[in-house]
A and B are shown apart, each in its own frame.
Chain A
Amino acid sequence: MPTVLFRDRATTRTRVITTDPDPLSLIPHPLNMQGSISDQTQINIETVAHDSHHEAHPDHRIFGLIVFLVAEGMIFLGLFIAYLAFRSMAPEWPPAGTPKLELLLPGVNTVVLIASSLVIHQADTAIKKNDVKGLQLWFGLTALMGILFLGGQLYEYSHLEFGLRTNLFASTFYVLTGFHGLHVTVGVLLILSVLWRSMKSEHYGTNNHFGVEAAEIYWHFVDVIWIILFILLYLL
């Protein structure tokens, strides 16, 4: 009876796996289709095992966040493509009688948001040098710029001459910018919660600043989405 024996260095216990005494598998035969798997037999043993019941759970949060943002980006992509579809199907866009969008305020807003992406990066640089004061300064500034952006958007909403239900363009305008505004709000809350946590001494440091990084990545994401949104809604 053919058997395969393994000696496992990690445990030094003998491992015996009994395999089938199948005569077919002994001879190379066209019906015995094992060839495709032959690579699999080249696996080397590595002894990774230690008495390792207490190792820390590996930290893949940044990777997970980026995967999440890809999914989040797909919602926006879906909405953007829906917007383009509505636009391409309409005989006239924006529909006749829609007041023209003012460019100055949203232009300033765009500059503020893009600038805030540069500002928040300074915080990342600071905390990598273990400079918590710098982190707080730059994060505080970013939060202010975010709030400024949101205020600007609310001001714009209140002065527009069309409402949510005026026509298809108006509806897409409010839903797209509103959904983005919701993300900016979440971003500001994330930044503020990082600020709150940074009050605790030693909470963030050179080697321990996931919260800072995550808030920054999220903020850049919100920024990129806005640039696309701005081009789609205001410039095109």
Chain B
Amino acid sequence: MTAELIIPNEPKDDDVVIHHRTWKDYFTFSTDHKVIGIQYFVTGFIFYIIGGLLAEAIRTELATPDADLVDPSTYNSMFTMHGTIMIFLWIVPAGTGAFANYLLPLMIGARDMAFPKLNAVAFWIIPPTGLLLILSFFLGPAQAGWTSYPPLSLLTGKVGEGIWIMTLLLLGTSSILGGINFFTTILKMRVPSMSMMQMPLFCWAMLATSLLMLIATPVLAGALILLSFDLIAGTAFFNPVGGGEPVVYQHMFWFYSHPAVYIMVLPFFGVISEVIPVHCRKPIFGYGAIAYSSMVISFLGLIVWAHHMFTSGTPPWLRMFFMITTMVIAVPTGIKIFGWLATMWGGKITLNSPMLFAMGFISTFVIGGITGVMLAAVPFDIHVHDTYFVVAHLHYVLFGGSVFGIYTGIYHWFPKVTGRHINDTWGKIHFVLTYVGFNVTFLPMHVLGLQGMPRRIAMYAPEFQGLNQVCTYGSYVLAISTVPFLVNAIYCAYKGDKAGSNPWNALTLDWQTTSPPEIENFEVLPVLTTGPYDYGDTTEVEESPEVLTTTGG
């Protein structure tokens, strides 16, 4: 079949001048959301590599039961840095910063975000802050894990702990500023013809995410302000020695950090909802259900935090409440999963790299979700608390979910961002290596956890060595899997085949402009001619001047 697509915004040879960005633009205080999106992604990816190298060092250390690669306190600071970098400098900036910045204005037909300068400020907080955090690694790093529970965090690595708190306050500020921008942009900047229920589902996901960023992140800031007083001024908010209550910190911390899980995964629910209909050539199943389930997840995400604290002396009635709300969250999540599966059912599935990663996302995220429901059950949680079962669960959610989601988005929007195709064969090789490496690394951890191997220690009992070595080999495969991606992406960004404006024949507005989009996105503001997912609509219409819209139900 021939796919001829003449788009209103396609430039004619002489009537439109396309402004191309040069590499220098990416080192400036640019207010263009597309530049900022790429700045976020590249910065995030650099930190991903740093955090990944730390992970490889951790796995290498764990290949043997003894602490023979690094000493235990260095090991403590390594997993502290690994967690902090991966969460706050990679997944949050890549998901909310990169994807939302690049895509939101394009998807809703806006020329930029609502507050372009604020956007640039939010980004430029991140690189110096990240460098500061890495610097702290050489100045007596924090050792209390990414949760930084007092009183442990008040006793070990004080200099690093102070820097850690400052880093998180700054990154939290960046996140709040981003949230203000996304929230306002989605609500106020849509093209006049687009109602809320005609937005692409990624916008719904980002609306839910931005609400969480705005409501939950400030509470973490409050906790960190009190913690910094304990650390620097010698108060005792959270220090039992001076009559303080460490559990209050845990409540405040998890009031942010549980929603943070949804901040890290909701954008990718959105990405998957965009990718699957395009590559299955079918309308999304249950648009309204998927849209509203994002909002429900956002709301429920705010009232489940204490399931991280079942062993912190939480009273039984409170445990019961949080157990039930946590389990209920599986319902809106399941609605999305089944929506995606029903979309794929009977569709014309193209098994290209974005679709493979999307399917990888669904399969691994389901495993992470199910172990999440298991962990929500109080008796089971008490049994496996602080074991490798939790490590396996969180990596299935944050790697199997978020990172697979990031790769899905990258392969899907690569032609949009660069105007060129990324090599699909190498994309598939990348997928296979990532998928195999990921599962070999993290699947055995479930077993280790059930057998009772505690997390966050450099040494373990010798009987765990066999499975730990499997994990370590898996992690090497995972590390190697990044190489074909990087080479492929960098090579194809300059030398790949020209993709044209809309290589996937997608219907959302982001594809209805040039690739890469010109500055200010659209030559003329687009008009909606179809819903975002009206694929496979076969209504045939004769061409006549009177017919404006040809989509029939």
Chain A residues in contact with chain B, CB under 8 A?
A: 1-11, 13-22, 24-26, 29, 31-34, 36-53, 57-58, 60-61, 63-64, 67-68, 70-79, 82, 85-86, 89-90, 95, 164-165, 167-168, 171-172, 175, 179
Contacts and interface: CB of A to CB of B under 8 A. Distances in A.
B505 to A, nearest CB: 7
B242 interface: yes
A218 to B, nearest CB: 14
Interface string B293-315: 00000000000000000000000
Q: Which one of B218, B342, B343 has the highest number of Cβ atoms from chain A below 10 Å of its Cβ?
A: B218
Contacts of A75: 218-219, 221-222, 225
A4 B550 contact: yes
Interface stretch (B40-48, B107-115, B152-160, B392-400): B107-115
25 contacts: A2-B538, A5-B547, A6-B529, A15-B8, A20-B281, A33-B282, A36-B285, A36-B286, A36-B287, A40-B534, A45-B527, A48-B525, A49-B524, A53-B523, A67-B179, A70-B215, A71-B180, A71-B215, A78-B219, A82-B226, A164-B233, A164-B235, A165-B233, A165-B235, A168-B237
Q: Which one of B537, B549, B552 has the highest number of Cβ atoms from chain A below 10 Å of its Cβ?
A: B537
The 10 closest A-B pairs by CB, nearest first: A40-B531, A78-B222, A74-B218, A78-B219, A37-B283, A49-B524, A25-B536, A11-B8, A75-B218, A171-B235
Contacts of B187: 63
B184 A33 contact: no
Contacts of A11: 8, 524
Interface stretch (B83-91, B189-197, B265-273, B454-462): B189-197
A15 B5 contact: yes
Contacts of B233: 164-165
A31 to B, nearest CB: 4
Contact of A37 (B191, B214, B348, B533): B533
A129 B322 CA distance: 54
B509 interface: no
Contacts of B128: none
A235 B329 CA distance: 40
Contacts of B543: 5, 7, 14
B527 A85 contact: no
B288 A36 contact: yes
B192 to A, nearest CB: 5
A18 to B, nearest CB: 5
B184 A71 contact: no
B243 A167 contact: yes
B62 interface: no
Interface stretch (B64-72, B245-253, B408-416): B245-253
B195 to A, nearest CB: 9
Contacts of A63: 184, 187-188
Given A6-B549, A48-B525, A78 B346 contact: no
Contacts of A33: 282, 285, 342-343, 345-346
Contact of A8 (B197, B236, B529, B539): B529
A26 B540 CA distance: 11
A36 to B, nearest CB: 5
Contacts of A21: 1, 538
Contact of B248 (A41, A49, A82): A82
Nearest to B512: A15
B345 A46 contact: no
A125 B495 CA distance: 61
A229 to B, nearest CB: 14
A24 B536 CA distance: 9
Nearest to A38: B553
B528 A70 contact: no
Contacts of B289: 36
A41 B281 CA distance: 16
Given A4-B541, A85-B245, A18 B3 contact: yes
Given A3-B540, A15-B5, A40-B532, A78 B198 contact: no
B22 interface: no
Interface in B211-260: 214-219, 221-223, 225-226, 229, 233-237, 242-245, 248, 251-252, 255
A168 B243 contact: yes
Contacts of B343: 33
B164 interface: no
B386 interface: no
B316 interface: no
A183 B175 CA distance: 20
A78 B254 CA distance: 12
B525 to A, nearest CB: 5
A45 B525 CA distance: 13
Contacts of A14: 6, 543
B176 interface: yes
Contacts of A22: 281, 348, 536, 538
A23 to B, nearest CB: 9
B218 A40 contact: no
A43 B531 contact: yes
Interface string B135-146: 000000000000
Nearest to B530: A43
Contact of A52 (B218, B251, B284, B524): B524
B293 to A, nearest CB: 13
Given A46-B193, A71-B180, A41 B553 contact: yes
B274 to A, nearest CB: 14
Contacts of B4: 16, 18
B163 to A, nearest CB: 21
A33 B244 CA distance: 57
B347 to A, nearest CB: 8
Given A26-B538, A43-B549, A8 B8 contact: yes
Nearest to A16: B4
Contacts of A82: 222-223, 226, 237, 248, 252
A3 B530 CA distance: 14
Given A1-B1, A67-B183, A19 B538 contact: yes
